[in-house]
Amino acid sequence: MNTQSLPKLAHQLLSEAIHAGDVVVDATAGNGHDTLFLAANVGEVGQVFAFDIQADAIHASRERLHQHQCLQHVCLYQASHSQMTPHIPLKFHAQVKAVVFNLGYLPGGDKSIITSAETTLLALSQAARILCSGGVISLLVYPGHTGGDTEHLQIQHWLQALNPAEFTVTRHDCHVISPTTPVLYWLEKHAN
Ligand SMILES: C[S@@+](CC[C@H](N)C(=O)[O-])C[C@H]1O[C@@H](n2cnc3c(N)ncnc32)[C@H](O)[C@@H]1O
């Protein structure tokens, strides 16, 4: 698996897990590629909630969704994913089929603005709670940039502390594994 293939693998796994009508969350909207993918997969009868702290990312995502006529079933928030629970209406809590994290910095943007362990872990805990039974979290981690290594370490601790009776965690690596290569974690919440 090369570096480019992990985002593709995430989409492949997601396309098997989500269906028309599902409620899903993009925790890091960025340039809107994942948000558009989610919006296309859940369709007009579904609902996407997408978060990013940067105005540029929200703008790029809105443009992309508009070009593909997918804006109407996407709520875009310029807010931290650590605020996901208060932004998502209560009626959808425990109904969310997938939460997607693609960590790091905005490609083509300011590389000093990165996801951080503190807010990522808060967001992961909220994501774990609002998932429905059988729901999934796709978590793409980039340990290669400054700060990314610390974030990855803390994520690993968080994953190790998950109750195995509640979640199955699968790790996917690149062909060549090093401390700086990206890692995809795929979490499945067990049905009650
Ligand atoms: C690798 S990019 C995401 C790529 C995106 N999923 C796409 O398809 O284009 C990571 C994004 O996380 C955003 N980010 C950083 N901290 C965040 C936070 N606390 N909450 C939400 N987004 C955050 C950055 O602004 C950046 O746009």
Domain range for 152:
5-189
Provide the whole-model pTM: 0.97
**What residues pair up with 131 in beta bridges, in sequence order?**
96
Residue 51, ligand 1, Cβ within 6 A: yes
Total tally of structural domains belonging to the chain = 1
Give the position, in ligand 1's atom list, of the atom nearest the Cα of 61: 9
CATH code of residue 80? 3.40.50.150
Give the pair of three-digit tokens for residue 100: 């997607």
Mutate to test the pocket of ligand 1, among 3, 26, 28, 81 (most ligand atoms within 8 A of CB): 28
Q: What is the pLDDT, as a whole number, of residue 2?
A: 57
Residue 52, ligand 1, Cβ within 6 A: yes
Helix (H) or strand (E) holding 55: helix 55-67
Share of the chain above pLDDT 90, in %: 93
Q: How far apart are the C-alpha atoms of 124 and 99, rounded to whole Å?
A: 9
Each residue's pLDDT tens digit, 22-66: 999 999 999 999 999 999 999 999 999 999 999 999 999 999 999
Residue 126, ligand 1, Cβ within 6 A: no
Each residue's pLDDT tens digit, 92-110: 999 999 999 999 999 999 9
Closest CA to 129 of 34, 30, 25, 53: 25
